[in-house]
Amino acid sequence: SQTIHQWPATLVQPVGSPLSLECTVEGTSNPNLYWYRQAAGRGLQLLFYSVGIGQISSEVPQNLSASRPQDRQFILSSKKLLLSDSGFYLCAWSRLGRGTSYEQYFGPGTRLTVT
């Protein structure tokens, strides 16, 4: 079966500090990978998605970046955090290919508080 891991689970960082969140998927190959942010009481905002190693599409201009150094690893980074970067960060994966329903499966999330 497939599992998706995220770490850390919670993080408190000062404004201006760097950020690195990691996501890994087990039990599948060539997944689509996604990073979302959910502000308190709000919906899911898609930040980045990737259909393969080194292939990253950005949805929202911001001070965040993403990388996919390995097939099942997805990293979200920032060089300098802003207060508005606080939120619940979720990584998700879906199957890639024709004839699939593309439902996305989410990791447990990282709750980031920028102080």
Of residues 22, 58, 77, 105, which one binds other proteins by CB under 8 A?
105
Alpha-carbon span 95 to 42, nearest angstrom = 26
With 0-12 CB in 10 A as exposed, 13-18 as middle and 19+ as buried, what is 6? buried
Q: Segment contacting other proteins (CB under 8 A): 14-22, 63-71, 73-81, 95-103?
A: 95-103
Task: Give whichever of 73 and 106 is closer to other proteins, judged by the CB atom.
Answer: 106
Q: Between β-strands 44-52 and 55-58, what pairing exists: parallel, antiparallel or unpaired?
A: antiparallel
Task: Give whichever of 73 and 88 is closer to other proteins, judged by the CB atom.
Answer: 88
Total residues in contact with other proteins, by rule CB under 8 A: 22
The H or E element containing residue 56 is strand 55-58
Q: How far is the CB of 104 from other proteins (least distance, A)?
A: 6
